[in-house]
Amino acid sequence: MAKSSTTFTCSACASSYTKWSGRCDGCGEWNTIVEDKGLSKSGPSGKSLGARRGSTVQLTDLATKEAPPPRTRSGIDELDRVLGGGLVPASAILVGGDPGIGKSTLLLQGAAQFARSGLKTIYVSGEEASAQVRMRAQRLGLTDAPVQLASETNLRDILTTLENEKPQLVIIDSIQTMWSDTVDSAPGSVSQVRSAAHELTTFAKRNGMSVILVGHVTKEGQIAGPRVVEHMVDTVLYFEGERGHQFRILRAVKNRFGPADEIGVFEMTGSGLAEVTNPSALFLSERGTPSAGSVVFAGVEGTRPVLVELQALVAPSPHSQPRRSVVGWDGSRLAMILAVLESRCGIPFAGLDVYLNVAGGMKISEPAADLAVAAALLSAREDAPLPEGAVVFGEISLSGALRPGPQTENRLKEAQKLGFTAAIAPSGGKPIEVTGMSLRQMGDLTQF
């Protein structure tokens, strides 16, 4: 007979261990490993899972059944795009983000729009009383939306409500406040979060409901982070933003029903989140006159081109170990670019502090940013601004060879739309021509 064994789980990244330790080898965080008693054997999940055991369907049978019901669009384009073109019926979605970033605001607005589009929607808040949610709705101008509110944290009560009401969409804000009485640990613990997410998603799938779970990202390890539920859901979205900046980015990191890497851009205003239809203009709006170390990168996020400014500062270092500091980009990628510049182009950065910043609080993960970073570093080092009105993009390999990333034409068109007149890009790939833009192409970093 299987015994339920105690394990230890990292509440930030969900790595599991047989012994407790102070630091998680998986994500490197300290004090995030907590005892995890596992799922209760006698809980409702055990029973409900057994009911369908052993039945299979023919793949060919599925093809003959009618087409799946169409996706529902909320009408908030930035949200619909990130979902892959609207909400898929009976799908499970996780929306993670730092506390206070605007998750509840986004989902209340989303709930209202989905309800107006005809979905029967319930918004379950475990953090605020219904009256508080209603006050927020008032502020957002959504009081006339046909959304049902519930203020509840007990999983059993929530499942009963869902059973009775049979909504098409349920929003759980947040998964960390939910608790199941079959699991014997505090709300927010790894076992509670995992159990609640499992119960809710399986219940929703079985009953043809879509469920959106809100998850707070946590560094302290007091409550379990959204990583614990990432694998249980179809779609994982992260809501990001920098303090001191008004705009927020909703990013798909996993999506069974659409492309990952897609982003939606919003601006937090006094009356809720407003869509930003032209993010490039927003990210470049704070840019002053072109100066040394500043480069405009023509990037692509998902299917959409986005121009962002990269800023580099290179200064003599007073330390024996010069500083390498990056905001909004990958630190090890910066080390690689510096190594390529040193060994392939003979431009040393030893004894120099290097700072790189993606302006506006945007985070970039595309390899096509390599050449723009190299350009910013060189421009900062030489104290020479790049030609005015130019954008830069392209991947750099360890040999110093340049490769065009995907969607070259898309990048150039966006740059042209925003008034840029020149581009520095790798040669190779499809021949490209954008009227009104001068293109400087090169095959190797040494030609820069």
**How far is residue 192's CA from residue 187's CA, in Å, rounded to a whole number?**
6
Which residue stretch of 16-24, 263-271, 342-350, 407-415 sits at the interface with ligand TYD (rule: CB under 6 A)? 263-271
Establish if 299 lies at the interface with ligand TYD (CB under 6 A). Answer: no
The residues that bridge with 343 in the sheet, in sequence order, are none
Neighbours of 352 (CB within 10 A): 18
Is 428 known to sit in a ligand binding site?
no
Among 101, 142, 172, 364, indicate the residue that binds ligand TYD (CB under 6 A): 101
- Establish whether 100 is an annotated binding residue: yes
Q: What are the φ and ψ backbone dihedral angles of 81, each rounded to 5 degrees?
A: -65, -45
Contact partner at residue 46 from ligand TYD, Mg ion, none, CB < 5 to 8 Å by partner kind = none
- Residue 99 annotated as lining a ligand binding site: yes
Q: Which of residues 379-438 bind ligand TYD (CB under 6 A)?
A: none
Q: Read off the tokens for 311.
A: 């800023």
Minimum CB separation of residue 103 from ligand TYD in Å reads 3
- Asked if residue 102 belongs to a known ligand binding site, the reply is yes
Tell me the longest C-alpha to C-alpha distance in the chain.
74
Stretch that binds ligand TYD, among 64-72, 96-104, 189-197, 394-402 (CB under 6 A): 96-104
Confirm or reject binding of residue 105 to ligand TYD (CB under 6 A).
Answer: yes
Q: Is residue 258 involved in binding ligand TYD (CB under 6 A)?
A: no
271 binds ligand TYD (CB under 6 A): yes
Of positions 70, 100, 331, 443, contacts ligand TYD by CB under 6 A:
100
Query: Minimum distance between the CB of residue 134 and Mg ion, rounded to whole angstroms?
Result: 15
Give the CA radius of gyration of the chain: 25
- Concatenating the DSSP letter of every residue in 28-53 gives --BS-EEEE----TTSHHHHHHHTTT
Mutual angle of helices 331-345 and 370-382, in 10-degree steps: 60
Burial of 428 (0-12, 13-18, 19+ CB in 10 A): middle
CB of 239 to ligand TYD, least distance (A): 7
Residue 244 as a binder of ligand TYD (CB under 6 A): the answer is: no
How long, in residues, is the chain? 448
- If one counts every other C-beta atom within 10 angstroms of the C-beta of residue 147, the result is 25
Site for ligand TYD contains 136 (CB under 6 A): yes
Distance CA 173, CA 171 (A): 6
Token readout for 280 is: 């490039």
Angle between helices 190-206 and 155-165 (to 10 degrees): 10
CB of 199 to ligand TYD, least distance (A): 22
* 3 state DSSP class of 220: coil
Residues that bind Mg ion (CB under 5 A): 104
104 is in an annotated binding site: yes
Residue of the chain from 28, 46, 68, 99 that contacts ligand TYD (CB under 6 A): 99
Residue 118 marked ligand-binding? no
CB-CB contact of 27 with 13 (8 Å)? yes
Stretch of residues binding ligand TYD (CB under 6 A), selected from 70-78, 135-143, 190-198, 379-387:
135-143
The answer on whether 22 is annotated among ligand-binding residues is no
| Smallest gap from residue 327 Cβ to Mg ion (A) | 26
The footprint of ligand TYD (CB under 6 A) covers 97, 99-105, 136, 139-140, 268, 270-272
Residue numbers in the known binding site are 97-104
